[in-house]
């Protein structure tokens, strides 16, 4: 079993797509290890997306991520990181495969409904960025 970190982003929460996305997560065989609603601050969003600092879309991305509540979660199954990335689809919903969450619920390359860790090192960092140890028992 492997863990990954996921976000249902502000656009998807606002559009009331969170329940449908959580249903899909369960249907894909993930266990929900931890889940909470969070209003991310500007500093938290900047730190979370530090790898993108300096890119043209960075400040817009931070504004978007702080525009409303998000749902942060830790998901578990075999090959969780790769499987969640596959279920999410490509970053740009226009390029995402049919049947992926971003194809179904994403509005643009920025407002793309969900986040998923890219690799094991990122997953480890992202899980503890949002969840203290006692929330991961």
Q: Which residue has the tokens 């290890």?
A: 33
Smallest distance from ligand IDP to CB 69, Å = 16
Residue 68 to residue 13: CA distance in whole angstroms: 8
Backbone angles phi, psi at 37, to 5 degrees: -80, 140
Nearer to Mg ion, 23 or 53 (CB): 53
Nearer to ligand IDP, 119 or 135 (CB): 119
Angle at 115 between CA 99 and CA 131, to 5 degrees: 135
Nearer to ligand IDP, 35 or 109 (CB): 109
Q: Please identify, among the stretches 18-26, 39-47, 75-83, 104-112, the one whose residues bind ligand IDP according to the rule CB under 6 A.
A: 104-112
> Environment class of residue 4 by beta-carbon count within 10 Å: exposed (0-12), middle (13-18) or buried (19+)?
buried
Q: Check if 115 is active-site.
A: yes
Q: Is residue 91 close enough to count as binding ligand IDP by CB under 6 A?
A: yes
Q: Is residue 87 close enough to count as binding ligand IDP by CB under 6 A?
A: no
Residue 24 has which token pair? 């899909």
Identify whether the C-beta of residue 113 lies closer than 8 Å to the C-beta of residue 92: no
Residue 124 has which token pair? 């480890």
Among 6, 100, 112, 130, binds ligand IDP (CB under 6 A): 112
Give the interface with ligand IDP as residue ranges (CB under 6 A).
52, 57, 61, 91, 109-110, 112, 115, 118
Active site residues: 115
Give the interface with Mg ion as residue ranges (CB under 5 A).
118
């Amino acid at each position: 079993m492997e863990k990954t970190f996921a976000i249902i982003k502000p656009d998807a929460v606002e559009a009331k797509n969170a329940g449908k996305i959580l249903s899909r997560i369960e249907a894909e065989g993930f266990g929900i290890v931890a889940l909470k609603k969070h209003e991310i601050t500007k500093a938290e969003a900047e730190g979370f997306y530090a790898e993108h600092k300096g890119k043209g879309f960075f400040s817009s991305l931070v504004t978007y991520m702080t525009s409303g509540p998000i749902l942060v979660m830790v998901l578990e199954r075999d090959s969780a990181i790769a499987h969640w990335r596959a279920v999410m689809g490509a970053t740009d919903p226009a390029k995402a495969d049919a049947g992926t969450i971003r194809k179904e619920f994403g509005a643009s390359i920025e407002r793309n409904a969900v986040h998923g860790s890219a690799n094991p090192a990122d997953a480890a960092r992202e899980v503890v960025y949002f969840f203290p140890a006692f929330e991961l028992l």
